[in-house]
């Protein structure tokens, strides 16, 4: 049951994130009819790679299965799952944010959330 909830949560998160990327991905170039129809349908041929970080290796197979299902429906979006141990995970996330190279999506923890919120990360 918990795995199913995690699966549904991940799919929902990925769907929302892809919508955010689609909304924020517009350029300054004037639009034409073909671009308008692609935007209206929510499709794009541009290849996108999303980096998703997590710390729990036991959950990685479920996340990879979710990513594979998502990629079937969105072949231009590849999802790279990055897993590391608990201690390394948090230092990697912090370092990535400071360096401007953080993953696009990461699994947070209730105990760590205030740290990121205080820094507006």
CATH (domain of 16): 3.40.190.10
Note the pLDDT tens digit of each residue in 37-95. Answer: 444 445 668 999 999 999 999 999 999 999 999 999 999 999 999 999 998 999 999 99
Could you tell me if residue 42 is inside a domain? no
Instruction: Please give the Cα distance from 63 to 69 (Å, whole number).
Output: 10
Per-residue pLDDT for 114 more than 90? no
Closest C-alpha to 54, from 111, 98, 105: 105
**Domain total for the chain?**
1
Could you tell me if residue 34 is inside a domain? no
Q: Supply 2's token pair.
A: 């918990």
Could you tell me if residue 60 is inside a domain? yes
**Which percentage of the chain shows pLDDT scores above 90?**
50
- Measure the CA angle with vertex 85, ends 76 and 77; round to 5°: 5
Please give the torsion angle defined by the CA atoms of residues 96, 99, 103 and 106, in that order, rounded to the nearest 10 degrees. 50
How far CA 48 is from CA of 44, 78, 102, in Å, comes to: 10, 6, 16
| Structural domain span for residue 13 | 2-27+49-118
Could you tell me if residue 35 is inside a domain? no
């Amino acid at each position: 049951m918990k795995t199913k909830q995690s699966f549904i949560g991940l799919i929902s998160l990925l769907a929302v994130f892809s919508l955010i990327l689609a909304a924020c991905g517009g350029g300054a170039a004037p639009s034409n009819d073909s671009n308008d129809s692609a935007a209206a349908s929510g499709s794009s041929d541009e290849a996108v790679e999303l980096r998703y970080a997590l710390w729990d290796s036991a959950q990685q197979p479920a996340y990879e299965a979710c990513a594979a299902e998502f990629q079937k429906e969105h072949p231009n979006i590849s999802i790279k799952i990055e897993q590391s141990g608990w201690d390394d995970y948090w230092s990697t996330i912090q370092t990535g944010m400071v360096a401007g190279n953080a993953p696009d999506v990461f699994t947070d923890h209730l105990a760590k959330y205030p740290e990121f919120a205080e820094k507006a990360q």
